[in-house]
Structure 1
Amino acid sequence: MKISHYLELEDHVTGGIRESVAHQRKILDRLEIPYTTEPTLEADLLHCNLMGPRSVWYAARARSRGIPVLAHAHVTAEDFGDSFRFTNALAKPLKPYLERAYGLADALVCPSQYNQNLIQSYTDTPTTVVSNGVDRQKLEGFRDLETQYRERYDLEPPVVFLVGHVIKRKGLETFVELARRLPEFDFAWFGPLDRSLKGRETTRLIETAPDNCTFTGYVEDIRGAYAAGDVFCFPTHEENEGIALLEAMAAGKPVLVRDIETFAWLEDGRDCLKVDAGDDETALEGFVDALEALEDPALRNRLGSSAAQRSEAFSLETVANQYRRLYEELI
């Protein structure tokens, strides 16, 4: 068995897609399955992680030669908007393109049940839910970095934090406004700013954030974010799964999320705290109330411990077995 494991524009793709691909390749190494990162028709299976034009070209030719094609449904029109400059304008024509692109695959991998439900409105290509997973090994030793990273960014506990690209879709406006309403907390968003790629509104929100709201920019050792943070606050409006959420849970951090369909698998009050995703003001008040409750260390410890246990189901070992079965079935 040899896999052509291809990520189009690999030198430019960052964030969750890149992290998912790193997880997949770590799994392939563990399973001792030979693979190349180049697109090729000299393989038993073509696995595409981003269905750009080059991937579509190879997928069409692989199908014509009887080579099975597996595609990842990382990208949907629904989560493309409110990300970077011009993405809102591209979101509408993106769906018919993806309908054709995903339709070229023999099977699709969906990172969550929510994502699968969306994709089934794009194409009748068979879908399988396989989590992006969480790499616990990557987080080892994170607690040793607590003092260093809190001092680096002048953070006092309890620290409300988020990890990932700073984009409006992930709840930037809510995050900034929470910092403004709760000056007794320090807020820190760890992740690339990419100001040249931001829309005008996103840039404004970053530049007018209160003093207790820190945007760190790119963090070379992401373990520092999970060391410095106390409450993972994720007010995202749209998400396919959320690798940073799984990492925060694996690190034993209490999680606070907007109650959207993506997070239906999380039990409110046990795995996390959820806030009604109604109108903006109602949601904001819900986040304020939840963060005030999370000032209680006992509640933080209980939720964090439960989150860590829940995250075990998303280990790379579990995900690896799903990939092995999927590859064998397709080949």
Structure 2
Amino acid sequence: MTGMKISHYFEFEDHVTGGIRESVAHQRKILDRLDLRYSTDPTLNGDAFHCNLMGPRSVWYAKRARARDIPVVAHTHVTAEDFGDSFRFTNALAKPLKPYLEWAYGLADALVCPSEYNRGVIEEYTDTPTRVISNGVDRQKLEGFESLRSEYLERYDLEPPVVFLVGHVIKRKGLETFVELARRMPELDFAWFGPLDLSLKGRETTRLIEGSPDNCTFTDYIDDIRGAYAAGDIFCFPTHEENEGIALLEAMTAGKPVLVRDIETFSWLEDGTDCLKVSQSAGGSGVAAFVDALERLKDPERRELLGSNAADRSEAFSLESVANQYQSLYEGVV
């Protein structure tokens, strides 16, 4: 790949946070690792145009790249399915978003899907060739997290074992279940580490946050994400829809036992070995089944075993492992 140059564009880079921003950061670390030259500006001077969000500017460049026989690679971070129950107005936008994305993703020569589940969704959108490449986990970013434990437990007045979650506080990620679990298990502390952005939230999301019990802490943005993995003991992720879940991979890398809703995205995780799963058919939001699982995870030995297995499983998602797949991707399209 000597001499290859990529236009690696992230539209709305100054405004988009969360998992998409993390994925782009991981991709650029990988490009550095592969010793590939790349521009973060959209240009038609490279050997490939790689866009992470199919906004209007990305579409404009993608169309012109194709006209010049420059291959277009697009990430499928966004689907109509995972757009709802996120921020205010996203439910209303999800329906018209799908035909737009069907058209926009159809402009690419290759689509990068972060999971097999995401690929299945995208293949209903377009017949553009797809390739599954994990967003990966930046193990280096988590180094030394253990040393922050007492500081972050004290900062947020948390008593171990702490049930925790990391990421934007949005309804889709199981906010209702998380709050209700805290209400039903007052003997445990629950902490959600991540931006609140209440001005962007709908009325019901705001009500859930403001009406949460005293043992449920919403930290808002924290400057060192390692603090979340230091303070947390059980990663509880009752999300209803997810393309992959970088925070999940980070929790596993940190050796934390993981409790998830049994959705198709997490089919690669083995219940009872890599994690504990709560069935979708557990009725309603499955709160009672989550309570039962958390009761089992009160056992320190069980937490230790599941966390150790999770850490072993996460090694396949390191940036070193993912880098080879990007090398193959670019060699294939250029």
What TM-score range do you get, normalising by the shorter chain? over 0.9
**1:210 aligned counterpart, secondary structure:** coil
Question: Given the two structures, how large is their TM-score scaled by the length of structure 1?
Answer: 0.99
Residue 279 of structure 1 and its aligned partner are, at CA, apart by 5.4
Deviations 1:213-238 (A, max 9, x none): 00000011000000000000000000
**1:165 aligned counterpart, secondary structure:** coil
Does the aligned pair in 1 maintain the 2:282–2:289 contact within 8 Å? no
**1:327 aligned counterpart, secondary structure:** helix
Identity between Structure 1 and Structure 2 (%): 79
Report the equivalent of 2:246.
243
Question: Is 1:325 matched up with 2:320?
Answer: no
Report the equivalent of 2:57.
54
Identify the match of residue 44 of structure 1 among 42, 47, 51: 47
Question: Is 1:91 matched up with 2:98?
Answer: no
**2:54 aligned counterpart, secondary structure:** coil
Question: Is 1:218 matched up with 2:221?
Answer: yes
Question: Given the two structures, how large is their TM-score scaled by the length of structure 2?
Answer: 0.98
Deviations 1:1-57 (A, max 9, x none): 000000001000100000000000000011110000000001100000000011001
Identify the match of residue 80 of structure 1 among 64, 75, 83: 83
Structure 1: state its 5+ residue gaps.
none
Question: Is 1:204 matched up with 2:207?
Answer: yes
Report the equivalent of 1:312.
315
**2:125 aligned counterpart, secondary structure:** coil
Does the aligned pair in 2 maintain the 1:186–1:213 contact within 8 Å? yes
Deviations 1:117-147 (A, max 9, x none): 0000000000000000000000000000000
d(CA) in 2 for partners of 1:158 and 1:251? 15
Which letter maps to 1:92?
A: K
Flag the 1:192–1:133 CA change in 2: closer, same or farther, 3 A.
same
**1:41 aligned counterpart, secondary structure:** coil
Identify the match of residue 165 of structure 1 among 165, 168, 191: 168
d(CA) in 2 for partners of 1:36 and 1:122? 29
1:166-315 equivalent positions in 2, closer than 5 A = 166-278=169-281, 280-281=283-284, 283-315=286-318
Deviations 1:174-224 (A, max 9, x none): 000000000000000000000110000000000000000000000110000
Residue 281 of structure 1 and its aligned partner are, at CA, apart by 3.8
Structure 2: state its 5+ residue gaps.
none
When the two chains are superposed, the root-mean-square deviation of aligned CA atoms in Å is 0.7
Does the aligned pair in 2 maintain the 1:276–1:282 contact within 8 Å? no
Does the aligned pair in 1 maintain the 2:194–2:221 contact within 8 Å? yes
Identify the match of residue 141 of structure 1 among 122, 141, 144: 144
Q: How many aligned residue pairs are there?
A: 331
d(CA) in 1 for partners of 2:313 and 2:166? 19
